[in-house]
Structure 1
Amino acid sequence: MTQFRVGDQVTIHNSQTGPEKIATVEAFTEGKRCMVLSDGSQWRADGQRQWRAGSAYYKGPVVEPTQPGDLEIVTKRRAIGVIRKFAQDLNMDSPLSAEALKRVVDLIQAEKAAAKVADPE
């Protein structure tokens, strides 16, 4: 039997990096053996591996009930990814104006300064 119910918020965890994605249980299929999440992924009802993973040995992500702090970790991970992608694609031919880039730099510097004040080392 599964510990999950339709409507439960769950976190997809990678064994090495922790919480990766937040989703909601939308349905159960295959006689309640397959759990369908709001991101379209399908998992065994116990959340221990993806439905039809294709290999006998599975060492992939798992689904767990969302815990306090999971949303913050996932949000931070996604924001870092967007910032890295933004910076990677940035060059002199970028359509962003110098003023727009200066605003981005000013925000980054302000956030870094606020973080140092909040957590002095």
Structure 2
Amino acid sequence: MTAFRVGDQVTIHNSQTGPERIATVDAFTEGNRCMVLSDGTKWRADGQRQWRVGSGYYKGPVVERTRPGDVDIVTRRRAIGVIRKFAQDLNMDSPLDAAALTRIVERIQAEQAAAPKPVDSED
């Protein structure tokens, strides 16, 4: 018997970086030994390792029930990745005009100004 059921929201956790992805349990196969998630990945029904990974030592991501805060962490991680990719690809040949770039900069500055300041700041 598995701790998960079809329709459960789960989080794929990496042992070093924490919550990576949010998914939903779509189905069980292989006599309820394999769990298929909404992102297409297959896991053992207990969520401890991916299905049919080689027989060697496995220390990788695991599937756990989604806990409070997991969605925020995953959303933040994804947003930071998109922003970094955007900034990395940005150069003078980019198709965005000066007005669009100025709007982006203004929004970044507004969000930074609205963010809570660290308590231990010595400014």
CA distance in 1, matches of 2:54, 2:23: 23
Deviation at 1:85, TM superposition (A): 0.1
Partner deviation per Cα, 1:60-95 (whole Å, 9 max, x = no partner): 100000000000000000000000000000000000
**Number of aligned residue pairs:** 120
Deviation at 1:54, TM superposition (A): 1.6
Which residue is 2:57 aligned to?
57
CA distance in 1, matches of 2:4, 2:66: 11
Q: What amino acid does structure 2 have at the position aligned with 1:66? A: T
Residue correspondence of structure 1 range 72-83 to structure 2 within 5 A: 72-83=72-83
Which residue is 1:22 aligned to?
22
- The answer on 1:90 being equivalent to 2:94 is no
The DSSP-based 3-state class of the residue aligned with 1:48 is: coil
Which residue is 1:109 aligned to?
109
The DSSP-based 3-state class of the residue aligned with 1:25 is: strand
Deviation at 1:116, TM superposition (A): 3.6
Structure 1 gap segments, 5+ residues each: none
Structure 2 gap segments, 5+ residues each: none
Q: What amino acid does structure 1 have at the position aligned with 2:69? A: G
Deviation at 1:104, TM superposition (A): 0.6
The DSSP-based 3-state class of the residue aligned with 1:88 is: helix
The DSSP-based 3-state class of the residue aligned with 1:20 is: strand
The DSSP-based 3-state class of the residue aligned with 1:79 is: helix
Which residue is 2:68 aligned to?
68
Q: What amino acid does structure 1 have at the position aligned with 2:42? A: Q
Identity among equivalent pairs (%): 79
TM-score by length of 1: 0.96
Q: CA RMSD in A?
A: 1.1
